[in-house]
Structure 1
Amino acid sequence: MTNDKGVAKEVEWRIKVEDGPWKRAGVSCNMWTFITSLYFKVCKFFKKAWDIGVNDPRKFIHCLKVGIALTAVSLFYYLKPLYDGVGRNAMWAVMTVIVVFEYTAGATIYKSINRICGTTLAGLLAFGVHWVASRAGDQWEPIIVGVSLFLLASTATFSRFIPTIKARFDYGAMIFILTFCLVSVSGYRIDELFNMAQQRISTIIIGTSLCIIVSTTVRPVWAGLELYVLVTENLDKLANSLQGCVAQYFEAQTASEESNKKMMGYKCVLNSKATEESLANLARWEPAHGRFNFRHPWKQYLKIGATMRRCASCIDALIGCIHSENKSSNDIRKIMSKTSIQVGDISANVLRELAITITSMTKSNKLDILVIEMNSAAQELQNLLKSYPNTQKNDDAKMEIPIMDIIQVVTMVSLLTEIVARVEDIVNCVEELSNLGKYKPAMSKCDKSKQHSTDSKISPEQQNEEEAIVKTLQVV
């Protein structure tokens, strides 16, 4: 009986129900959910793309410029007179536009010149090798072509490891290898090699010339101007970070989200090395534009960027002290706060004045005074640290100062002193830039009033012309 009861308890009842409308409704519901989620993802993607274009309309304009260049070069296929001049090699002009056209004018000119030089040099060498090999006979021809291909390709590949060539002619070396291999291998079975090389070089020259014309005339984006704006913005970010972190440490206040964002601006300075080097290399290829001459000292901007990164590394260490678990006492902060905040404010003002100097391309009248004030404030902070035990109000009993408080204060003072020294290095680099760029002295208030009085005598037509020039410079 007990076994029968156990078996009865273990029996499970199952009822099979045929698949009805509920399951079909579930499938349709899943399909509808998938379609709606896909729709919202596509809308989100297009919204992000639209925001990118709205934030920087030059990217929209760049797309239009590429379309203009491709449409113009495709006429060599559609118009019979042009097609008869270049033949089937017109495709090389289209490929050249696709490969060469870049966002900045400097990058387009760099790739265009490298492509022309690499293609021309490789074509001439390939033609010379083919001529020598054809004179050597049928037995030696493939050997000469193969050996020359091996030697020249290996040499050109090794040259890409040389820093100077890698910085300026890396793309040209790659095009040289590609063109030499194509012409050498295809020319082994083609009798009219010279005509083929001539047509190919001419189509590449047509494509690159069209890219340079469109890139430099239709709302150009200059790499030099991008570098110029990047350096000035980094100076402002560095000033905001320095001023914000010193104030947050000594005032002991909770920073807002906006102030935290400004305080972290030094990270953009630390991460801008690759961008600065790339823009400086591309700016050398650009013609004179705006306020920049053909021989503008672009290398000096790299020196300024390097000194800014050294200063930003000190600010990074300063922010590490802010987030440290070992905090100094409030008494020490009160004693050091006024002078330390003064050092941070004056140093930030020096950096902002340097940004104004680079932006206006004039030598500042306030810079020397601000540097003197910065050095005197730093010296006052060091003297205050040396005389710190004598500043205690309780003279009757000698109070013991915790060692961690002393370490925190000494660290902060030494970092602020080092920041002052590195800000002075930035000042020296900017002064060297002003000398190399031949900056004019800044106008005083008296000079500005005189200029305003003379400008009032200018005819309205001349004023309209000057306003038009200013607007074009702002657009550039």
Structure 2
Amino acid sequence: MESQTESINGSGESNGHSLVGNCREWLCSALENIRCTAVGFTGELAKIARDDPRRVVYSLKVGLALTMVSVFYYITALFDGWGSSTIWAVITVVFVMEFTVGATLRKGLNRLLGTLVAGFLAVGAHLLAQLCGEKGEPIMLGVFVFLAASAATFARFIPVVKATYDYGVVIFILTFTMVAVSSYRADDLIEFAHQRFTTIAVGVAICLVTTIFVFPIWAGDDLHKLAAGNLDKLAEFLEGMESECFGENCPCTNLEGKAFLQLYKSVINSKAREDSLFTFAKWEPIHSKFRFRYPWSQYQKLGTLSRQCASSMEVLAFCAITLRTSQYPEASANRCLKIRAACRAMSLHSAKALKSLSLAIRTMSMTMPYPNNELPTNNDMSMAIKAADDFKNELSKDVALVQVSHIAAVASLLSDIVLQIEGITECTRSLARLARFKNPEWARSAVVINIEN
């Protein structure tokens, strides 16, 4: 009996120790998971801040703007003047404050304009509805709300309105409906509309002051850098092609997975960001080297040409990978060497031309430290075009080049890219002339090279 009791007690103690051990293990595992999650989250935040430190600045600016506008709620004299409408100043800062100056200006002015127009029309609708008597007033107000909301919503489908004033139309619908409906119960409609507009104006003003005067982030600067960066990426792609595919001592490794073959993708995918920056840049005032009526539309033309060139490079990359894995008969070796030399010349000089164009855009100057004040763009484009013409002439004369169709296709694609880069060059010259880059004589006197296919 005693032995059975001891056995039971021993078993109970063993189960108790096991349960405590399991709980301790589970707790340690949970704490480790929490620690790993916290470390991972902190690392992600640090990466976001490193990628673009302006994000940290923008976050602090939003906090500063909200702190400033909250003062109007805390000061009794200001709160007594606006009453509960003061909260609209806070709401305005939350919705209007954007990353760039242009985006904030666009939203702020849209909100002001939409509120002002809607306020005037709502007061007018109230005065007309009062003429219909006590029973007819709510009916007429309902009719006015229906007509205004329907017309404004349909106007949002107009491309110009959609692109520029869409947010203002939404605010118009909101404000008109609120003021018109509130007018049936409000004692002083004029005072109500005035308070709403004034508080929104204060909120917009605080947003603009904070955005423009506290470490401003300009959409125009980003658009300018994006255009130059795209040209750099195209140039790096061609430099990679020249060294990895057509160089005299190029390696014989497979091209798949090479970093330079992926550069064109970011250029192709840049349209959405470019369009957004273009829309915001048009709203920005004079700043830095960007004067009034700056030709922002020229950047869109340049971006379109860059993406067309990048699309051709996408096909070229596929053909280059196929070329590296292909085998040719010995009889074609001389022709392969000739075409490779032409491809190397086209790639090398086109890359130099794009690099010089990118530098010209970044510095907004056509003056560079080259002999005789002569830009390499003209020489390099001439040599690239000459190599393309030589290849086309040889292709038309030598039918045997069909034996090396893959490498001939690569050379043909490269010659087309040369033509597209010439178009990019002309677009950059137009930008230099319209934006009044330093030493614009280069853009005016540059000889346009006619290319005969």
The question of 1:229 aligning with 2:225 is answered yes
Structure 2 counterpart of 1:408, which letter? H
Indicate how the Cα distance of structure 1 residues 328 and 149 shifts in structure 2: closer, same or farther if over 3 A, else same. Answer: farther
In the alignment, which residue of structure 2 is the partner of 1:353? Answer: 356
1:154-203 per-position Cα deviation (integer Å, ceiling 9, x unaligned): 11111111111111111111111111111122222112111011011000
In the alignment, which residue of structure 2 is the partner of 1:96? Answer: 92
**Alignment counterpart, residue 201 of structure 2, candidates 191, 197, 205:** 205
Unpaired runs of at least 5, structure 2: 1-10, 368-373, 443-453
Q: Is the 8 A contact 1:73 1:207 kept in 2?
A: yes
1:37-93 per-position Cα deviation (integer Å, ceiling 9, x unaligned): 121111111122123223322211111111111111111111112212222111000
In the alignment, which residue of structure 2 is the partner of 1:415? Answer: 413
Q: CA deviation at 1:260?
A: 2.6
The question of 1:243 aligning with 2:239 is answered yes
Structure 2 counterpart of 1:413, which letter? A
In the alignment, which residue of structure 1 is the partner of 2:390? Answer: 380
Q: CA deviation at 1:388?
A: 4.9
In the alignment, which residue of structure 2 is the partner of 1:10? Answer: none
Classify the secondary structure of the residue corresponding to 1:327.
coil
Indicate how the Cα distance of structure 1 residues 254 and 37 shifts in structure 2: closer, same or farther if over 3 A, else same. Answer: farther
The question of 1:436 aligning with 2:434 is answered yes
Distance 1:268 1:54 in 2: 20
Distance 1:258 1:329 in 2: 20
Q: CA deviation at 1:259?
A: 9.2
Unpaired runs of at least 5, structure 1: 1-16, 391-400, 445-476
Q: CA deviation at 1:342?
A: 0.8
Q: Is the 8 A contact 2:345 2:387 kept in 1?
A: yes
In the alignment, which residue of structure 2 is the partner of 1:180? Answer: 176
Count residues in correspondence.
416
In the alignment, which residue of structure 1 is the partner of 2:313? Answer: 315
Distance 1:316 1:162 in 2: 35
Q: CA deviation at 1:111?
A: 0.5
**TM-score when scaled to structure 2?**
0.86
Structure 2 counterpart of 1:116, which letter? L
Q: Once the two structures are aligned, what percentage of the paired residues are identical?
A: 37
Q: Is the 8 A contact 2:179 2:193 kept in 1?
A: yes
Classify the secondary structure of the residue corresponding to 1:295.
coil
1:351-405 per-position Cα deviation (integer Å, ceiling 9, x unaligned): 1111112112223642322222221111122234345568xxxxxxxxxx8x6x5
Distance 2:161 2:252 in 1: 51
Classify the secondary structure of the residue corresponding to 1:323.
helix
**Alignment counterpart, residue 336 of structure 1, candidates 334, 339, 346:** 339
Indicate how the Cα distance of structure 1 residues 99 and 442 shifts in structure 2: closer, same or farther if over 3 A, else same. Answer: same
**TM-score when scaled to structure 1?**
0.82
In the alignment, which residue of structure 2 is the partner of 1:463? Answer: none
In the alignment, which residue of structure 2 is the partner of 1:38? Answer: 34
Classify the secondary structure of the residue corresponding to 1:320.
helix
Kindly report which structure 2 residues correspond to 1:41-440, keeping only aligned pairs within 5 A, or say none. 41-251=37-247, 253=251, 260-324=258-322, 327-329=326-328, 331=333, 332-363=335-366, 365-366=374-375, 367-388=377-398, 405-440=403-438
Indicate how the Cα distance of structure 1 residues 442 and 189 shifts in structure 2: closer, same or farther if over 3 A, else same. Answer: closer
Classify the secondary structure of the residue corresponding to 2:67.
helix
1:324-351 per-position Cα deviation (integer Å, ceiling 9, x unaligned): 3862528253232122111011111111
Indicate how the Cα distance of structure 1 residues 207 and 257 shifts in structure 2: closer, same or farther if over 3 A, else same. Answer: farther
Distance 1:177 1:255 in 2: 63
Q: Is the 8 A contact 1:240 1:263 kept in 2?
A: no
Distance 1:195 1:275 in 2: 42
Distance 1:54 1:206 in 2: 34
Distance 1:368 1:188 in 2: 72
1:256-310 per-position Cα deviation (integer Å, ceiling 9, x unaligned): 9999323311111000001001001100110000000121000110000000000
In the alignment, which residue of structure 1 is the partner of 2:5? Answer: none
Classify the secondary structure of the residue corresponding to 1:433.
helix
